[in-house]
Amino acid sequence: MKNHLRGLRETKGWTQGELADQLEVSRQTVNAIETEKYDPSLPLAFKISVLFKSKIEDIFEP
Amino acid sequence: MSDGQFERKWLRKYQFELAGAFAVYGLLLMVARKLYPFAEAFAAKLSLSLLPMIGFALAVWAIGRAIMRADELQRKQAMEVIVLAAAATMLLTFGYGFLEFGIGLPRLSMFVVWPVMGLCWILVNLAYLARGKVAWPWRFK
């Protein structure tokens, strides 16, 4: 699934590790979502949307 | 802001618990080996033979706890790798069983199964890394 997670993270000036800690996941998971190798579960997608104060559909594209 | 702290904490706890379990296993194995020659009753022999397995059970508990603390992608990958490793182990051990009867290969101990599965687990993990399904840790930024 296409997403804008890398761009959003870079806007905040966070590393993958820093974002991972806020989402309580591993860096590998953040990396896999950014490189579109893994689609997050709905609860994790919600956590991401709350963290970036954006709608899920603005972060993830079907 | 913390950087990769969640993952490091997870790994540290897992390593600590697993190392503790294997330390218990090693200790109980030494105790069992020392005492076994003096055991005469069947119950004593049985108990001493199984004594090191308490350490092994603790290792299973540590692995279970690590899986419960892992995130969703880690759990998914752990499940895929263990399923493939178990399937490969079934293939190898069952195939070898037929060869024991069919062409008279030497009978192997049940102790062989676990190292075979461990090796399959390592190989599946390496295949995942090579195919880029899992990223090498130093590639994270």
Cβ–Cβ gap B1/A14 under 8 Å: yes
Q: Is the pLDDT of residue B2 over 80?
A: no
- pLDDT at residue B136 tops 80: no
Predicted complex ipTM: 0.90
Q: Cα(B21)–Cα(B34) distance, rounded to whole angstroms?
A: 20
CB contact under 8 A, A15 and B141: yes
Interface of B with A (CB under 8 A): 1-7, 10, 70-74, 132-135, 137, 139-141
Quote the tokens at residue A59: 């972060």
> Which of A57-61, B6-10, B73-77 comes out lowest in average pLDDT?
B6-10
d(CA B69, CA B111): 30
**Rounded Cα distance, B94 and B112, in Å:** 12
Nearest to A18 among B3, B71, B139 (CB): B3
Answer yes or no: is pLDDT of B16 > 90.
yes
- Taking only the tens place, the pLDDT of each residue in B41-90 is 999 999 999 999 999 999 999 999 999 999 999 999 999 999 999 999 99
CB spacing of A38 vs B73 below 8 angstroms: yes
Compute the distance between CA of residue A15 and CA of residue A54 in angstroms, rounded to an integer: 19
Rounded Cα distance between B7 and A50, Å, is: 21
Q: Tell me which of B26 and B128 has the higher pLDDT.
A: B26
Residues of A in contact with B6 (CB under 8 A): 20-21, 24-26
Q: Where are the alpha helices (DSSP H) in B36-112?
A: 42-50, 53-69, 72-103
Length of chain B: 141
Residue-level pLDDT at B141: 44
Chain A to chain B Cβ contacts (< 8 Å): 62
- Other beta carbons within 10 angstroms of residue B138's beta carbon come to 6
pLDDT surpassing 70 at residue B139: no
Tokens of B5: 């702290």
Q: Say if residues A28 and B140 touch (Cβ distance below 8 Å).
A: yes
Residue identified by tokens 């692995």 is B63
Per the prediction, chain B carries an average pLDDT of 91
Instruction: Give the residue from B121, B122, B115, B123 showing the smallest Cα distance to B86.
Output: B121
**pLDDT digit string (tens) for A3-58?**
999 999 999 999 999 999 999 999 989 999 999 989 999 999 999 999 999 999 99
Q: What is the pLDDT of residue B140?
A: 47
**With 80 as the cut, is the pLDDT of residue B134 above it?**
no
The share of chain B scoring above pLDDT 70, in percent, equals 93
Q: Could you tell me which chain A residue has the CA closest to the CA of B7?
A: A26
Overall average pLDDT of the B11-22 stretch: 95
The alpha carbons of chain B give a radius of gyration, in whole angstroms, of 20
Give every CB contact of residue B128 below 8 A, 6+ residues apart in sequence: B77, B80, B81, B134
Fill in the amino acid letter for B27: L
* C-alpha gyration radius of chain A: 10
- Inter-chain residue contact B73 with A17, CB threshold 8 Å: no
Three-state SS for A24?
A: coil
User: Are A24 and A17 a contacting pair, CB within 8 Å?
Assistant: no
Q: Identify the residue among B9, B73, B134 best suited for mutation to test binding to A, counting A beta carbons within 10 A and taking the highest.
A: B73
pLDDT at B8 over 60: yes
